[in-house]
Structure 1
Amino acid sequence: MLLLGSGKPTRRQLVDGALLYGGPQALVTGLEACRRQGLRGSGIAANGIHLLIPDSCKVSSVGSVTVERTTRMPRPVVVDGVPMAPLFRAVLDECRRFSARDPVRALLTEAVQRGRLNPEVLIRELEAGSDRGSALPREVLRDVLRGARSVAEVDAMAVWRRTGLPEPLWNHELRDASGRYIGTPDGYFKKVRLAWEVDSYDFHFAREQYAGTLERNSRYAAEGILVLQTLPSRLRSEPGKVAAELVAAYDAANSMNVLQLRGVPTRRSNLLNKQ
């Protein structure tokens, strides 16, 4: 493909040029295909064009075009005239190229939430494909299957694994005896009645959201549920400290329940008795 005229080629021109180079059966995959099918891929820098071609084709990578030969050519999806791999394949083709967890977590959680991909479909695709670069996607998808709905919740699961505590219920809706809604904590340790909330500063401390957070915590308190709040940023910057705080909160909640089972008045019951 020859670009007529001066100036930098557009992204579409780069894509068209890559497809011409790859041949008539070439498909765009990776980040380019993800974004053309509705994902943002936030925080992931735009790179070259990643192509899939049949294994029998003798075309090699060149310049900004990465050519991957495969015996498992997917059925193409055509968006605005561009043939590409379906979203589940494009996401995993991109994730396999990363050696860091952050972009893998970001892309897979967005694919499940925004792209509405079933995590089990992604896992089946991983099982069917090459093992190359599959370790990190497998690890993240295990957490997504547990119930993580965001990157912060995936990070929370990684912190929980440091603690040795029983696994909590993830994103489990809590209601009182009459059926009234209490909350949906990120993690809930049912045995000791401990709610773990990963609360974003930006979201929860705007005026309306702050009021909602206070109301939520009041509902927890009314039901005798201890709540631990953690900023998402600390899950990565201080995972050891957060893990220790989670263990301490669990132990405190467990102690409160033990005292109640023994009929020992807690500070809360003492205050009520004095009123």
Structure 2
Amino acid sequence: MNHSAPLSPRTLGQPSPVRRLVLTTAQLRDRGMTTTDVNERCRPGGPWQRLLPGVYLLRPGPPSPEERLHAALLYTARPPSPRTAPRVPAQPGSAEPAAPRPCADALITGLAALALHGLACAPPLPSLDTIDVLVPRLRRLRSTGCVRIVRTTVLPEPVFVAGVPVAAVPRALADAVAELTDAEAVRGLLTEAVRRGLCEPRAVVEELTAARLLDRPHVIDAVDTLVAEGRAIAENRLYRMVFENGLPDPLWNVALRLPGGPDLGAVDAYWPDQAVALELDTRPLLRGAEAGRSEQARRRERLERLGVTVVHVTPRGLRDAMAQQATLVRTALMAANDRDPAAYVVVRPR
């Protein structure tokens, strides 16, 4: 077996032979094996080996990445209750009964999860000495062998990648960054995840904030790069929204002010004939988010008092519902004829 081969849905899915080769003490007992039988087979030079407490590999040689992942999940998964998931005893050599997905008890997270999600900047699974597993805070588990326990108050919903329950990309990033001190590695992981559309910058920043990682200088620097990357991606989507949906060309990235009066702030797009302004909301990603939101609200209020309609869009809305965002803009443009004329404002490049 090639232990450095990439993981695939076939090898990690339910029919995988890994599930017949990596078993727990309880599963072996159901097959008629006693503790003495297991210990005899796991002796030095024997045909089996103990991977983790209560988890065994029924063959000699180094475990494959798939076997290590499955062993980690078996070690951390809560044993099924006899009342809710009775086990049917099976004789040695009989077919493997279908096992429930360990979706509610433990999730692969950190670098191992990012490798499963396909991030090129994440180390490949065979090179990882440790597999991070996310479990509820009150579970009585300890880190051992290749497994590092990561505790959380609320276990998030799993994302299944090739049959393996893993944490979503933003949470996996936060758990990986918590263990990394290399600024370039942190920056590479965050920017790749956003650039490839695996998550939005806002979700990453929220997870980093919850993990209390934004007081680390190398993480703050990476977040600044992430915000700039996310802003550029959102602006490209905004250009696509206008051109692909047949909207009239606006004036891009302009600042507005009253003639001889104060500045009214900058907007991402402005249709002067209809007095419609569009704001792309990436400001909450920045430090000082509350002050930024307050200023944004005040600017919007000033513009609307002058008769300028402000359309508010988010990067996520552009990604997941671009046509709906275009409809909002088109509706605002069409409604211009039914409104009182807006005050005259001066438009200048930002």
Greater fraction helix: 1
Larger radius of gyration: 2
TM-score (normalizing by structure 2) = 0.40
TM-score (normalizing by structure 1) = 0.50
